[in-house]
Structure 1
């Protein structure tokens, strides 16, 4: 796997090559937006890991990658649908919205039943928590120790959205 499934330190793994085959640099320009490869992408795994120079959050999908946007965010945070408050640890924050990225299957079941909150103890990505999965749109909040640049990779086999947060 790309990283550990738990909030503990991950084992070191090779850094994947970006989907376009080139090297992708970290950027501090927000928002980061992509149109996706499929209208509905069922989430099948979410995992975190820390590596030399960056912390990583990975979303794995069954069909392809959804349309998404990653941007700076400011508390207070609220759960999608209910509006209930969500506490996110950190001093800087990013919000991820995946339109069509969902755990809700056509059969009315969930494609992912793993953790939806990670308190990591990593150098920069200290907390990742799901804001909701409502009407086939998922949102996640990333709590950071400080403002940081990111590298976003879209990988195949299996389809993944990878967010690396620079140390």
Structure 2
């Protein structure tokens, strides 16, 4: 009787070991991206040069990402958004200190002349899940830089919305991978 129970237990254990790995593999290969985000963390950008000017910067929180919006007076605007080891100030090339585990360099092909933009705390992002700091990196020869301190190097996307006379550069940074 003991031998029968031992044999049955051994067969059951062996069978369960064969089933568990295949179930775990199937679950991991069919899982959907978190919130459907498939953006990645590679540089984003477009090239247009215009006579646009920066008018403001603001931020917002969404369920799956934090958003930075750069308002521009002009119908089109070129930009480049990329993760860098250090954001550099326009004109001087000096490093811009940012809080967070990663730094996003947001360069906009638009002049920023308003004194209200010149701040190491352009937008209050305290309490945000991903954004840690938004700082002015200066404007020089028609290009402006905004440094964004981010919690970590997370997926991001960038795109421009326009209504004919004004544009908005939108930068979304996911809360997680």
Q: TM-score, normalised by structure 2?
A: 0.67
Is it true that 1:151 corresponds to 2:162 in the alignment?
no
Q: How far off is 1:78 after superposition? A: 3.7
Is it true that 1:96 corresponds to 2:106 in the alignment?
yes
Over residues 28-66 of structure 1, what are the superposed CA-to-partner deviations in whole Å (9 max), with x where a residue is unaligned? 142101123x61211112111111111111011111232
Q: Distance in 1 between matches of 2:95 and 2:47?
A: 29
Q: Which residue of the partner structure matches residue 26 of structure 2? A: none
Over residues 41-99 of structure 1, what are the superposed CA-to-partner deviations in whole Å (9 max), with x where a residue is unaligned? 11112111111111111011111232111111113x44222344421000011111123
Q: Which residue of the partner structure matches residue 113 of structure 1? A: 116
Structure 1: runs of 5+ lacking an equivalent: 1-23, 105-109
Q: Which residue of the partner structure matches residue 141 of structure 2? A: 135
Is it true that 1:50 corresponds to 2:61 in the alignment?
yes
Matches within 5 A, 1:64-103: 64-75=75-86, 77-99=87-109, 101-103=110-112
State the Cα RMSD in Å: 2.3
Q: 1:156 to 1:25 in 2, by over 3 A?
A: farther
Q: TM-score, normalised by structure 1?
A: 0.70
Higher helix fraction: Structure 1 or Structure 2? 2
Higher strand fraction: Structure 1 or Structure 2? 1
Q: Which residue of the partner structure matches residue 73 of structure 2? A: 62
The structure with the larger Rg is 2
Q: Which residue of the partner structure matches residue 40 of structure 2? A: 28
The answer to whether the Cα contact below 8 Å between 2:112 and 2:138 also exists between their aligned partners in 1 is no
Structure 2: runs of 5+ lacking an equivalent: 1-35
Q: Distance in 2 between matches of 1:81 and 1:146?
A: 27
